């Protein structure tokens, strides 16, 4: 036998080897819109691969890889890479890239694997989307845990993470900017702090949550080379968010709602974009009702509203308009791990034309 093969077999016999098994979530879609700028399209959704692996006593690694469609090709993103160790029954310490625990929806649904609608709430669109208002990912340090008190579980999750940034020159070029969360090199030393506390009845009938976030948004453009509002690394916005969420659930129906107050202050002056230096508030609210009394069918309705004080520089720069949305979804369960959803979405605003979308989705989840 070849000496190299013999050494290889001996190595495998002496040292342990590991195989990583991934679960898979994927979907295909079709979409129709009343806007001339949005042609009717068939779409391939993101292909989501995720795995949780034990790496020692009370320690684990969670990895999520996302293949996202981008016109004619796909982009591979490391969506999450998160190391965690359970120190006490009520304390887990983690570090890496994770989903932000801000809000009930972001903590429980995120990419839509188990949500009952195709779309996410307006406030919680993903980071690189046009309409996203807050960072939905965090790169940093996490403390979390839970403790049972009589008939109630008390859960907490606190995070210190890299701060988000925007390149304000994008606004002057295209009318909106995208929010970024840096994976490797933060723009500045200041960090984002956020936390969520939840109270869950042990039988799962009700859940109440409170979330809080304090962050600076930094300028990632360069005032000298691309005409951004401020120099690279300057604080362009100061933000504070407070959210309250509630969910009531029974086998035949559920209702859930979230209310968010978003306070931001611009650190620059622009005659039309940021004419005042005072802080500006925006308030967002959604309520969602789902019924489960039909065999395999789940009808869902969600109402959303975003209102804001005038001259809100953050919303203006992000290209976000105060609006009302009505979302109606009908889901049909093909199997325990697959379903078809039909969704009708109407978005109404005083500043832009009413948008109507009809979407069809077929998804599969494999463990």
**Does some domain include residue 21?**
no
**Does some domain include residue 282?**
yes
Structure tokens at 98: 């994770």
Structure tokens at 218: 């930094």
- Residues 247 and 224: their CA atoms lie apart, in Å, by 49
Domain tally for the chain?
1
- Residues 359 and 117: their CA atoms lie apart, in Å, by 10
Q: Tell me which residue has tokens 């000496």.
A: 3
The domain in which residue 362 lies consists of 32-366
**Does some domain include residue 77?**
yes
**Does some domain include residue 3?**
no
Q: Positive or negative CA dihedral for 301, 307, 312, 316?
A: positive
**Does some domain include residue 75?**
yes
**Does some domain include residue 292?**
yes
Angle at 200 between CA 195 and CA 203, to 5 degrees: 160
361 near 118, Cβ under 8 Å? yes
Contacts of 185 (CB under 8 A, 6+ apart): none
What CATH number is given to the structural domain containing 165?
2.40.160.10
259 near 253, Cβ under 8 Å? no
- Residues 137 and 186: their CA atoms lie apart, in Å, by 14
**Does some domain include residue 10?**
no
Structure tokens at 323: 């609006």
- Residues 231 and 182: their CA atoms lie apart, in Å, by 18
**Does some domain include residue 338?**
yes
Contacts of 345 (CB under 8 A, 6+ apart): 119, 325, 326, 327, 355, 356, 357, 358, 359
What is the structure's pLDDT at 130?
39
Structure tokens at 2: 């070849």
Residues of the chain whose pLDDT is less than 50?
127-131
């Amino acid at each position: 036998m070849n000496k190299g093969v013999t050494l290889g077999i001996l190595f495998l016999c002496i040292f342990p080897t590991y195989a990583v098994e991934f679960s898979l979530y994927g979907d295909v879609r079709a979409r129709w819109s009343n806007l001339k700028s949005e042609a009717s399209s068939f779409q391939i959704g993101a292909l989501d691969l995720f795995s949780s692996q034990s790496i020692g006593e009370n320690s684990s690694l969670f990895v999520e890889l996302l293949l996202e469609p981008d016109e004619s090709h796909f982009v591979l993103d490391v969506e999450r890479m998160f190391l965690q160790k359970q120190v006490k029954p009520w304390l887990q310490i983690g570090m890496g890239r994770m989903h932000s625990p801000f809000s009930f929806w972001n903590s429980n649904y995120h990419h839509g694997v188990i949500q009952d609608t195709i779309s996410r709430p307006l406030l919680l669109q993903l980071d690189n989307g046009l309409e996203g208002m807050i960072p939905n990912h965090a790169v940093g340090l996490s403390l979390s845990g839970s403790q049972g008190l009589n008939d109630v579980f008390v859960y907490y999750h606190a995070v210190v993470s890299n701060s988000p940034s925007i390149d304000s020159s994008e606004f002057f070029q295209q009318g909106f900017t995208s929010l970024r969360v840096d994976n490797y090199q933060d723009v500045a030393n200041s960090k984002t702090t956020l936390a969520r506390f939840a109270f869950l009845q042990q039988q799962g009938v009700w859940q109440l949550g409170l979330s809080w976030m304090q962050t600076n948004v930094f300028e990632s453009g360069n005032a000298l080379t691309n005409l951004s509002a401020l120099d690279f690394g300057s604080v362009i916005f100061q933000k504070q968010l407070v959210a309250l969420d509630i969910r009531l659930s029974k086998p035949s129906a559920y209702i859930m709602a979230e209310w968010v107050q978003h306070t931001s202050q611009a650190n620059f002056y622009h005659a039309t974009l940021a004419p005042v230096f005072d802080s500006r508030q925006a308030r967002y609210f959604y309520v969602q009702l789902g019924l489960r009394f039909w065999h395999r069918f789940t009808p869902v309705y969600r109402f959303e509203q975003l209102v804001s004080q005038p001259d809100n520089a953050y919303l203006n720069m992000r290209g976000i308009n105060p609006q009302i949305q009505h979302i109606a979804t009908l889901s049909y369960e093909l199997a325990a791990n697959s379903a078809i959803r039909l969704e009708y979405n109407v978005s109404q605003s005083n500043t832009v034309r009413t948008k109507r979308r009809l979407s069809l989705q077929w998804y599969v989840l494999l463990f």
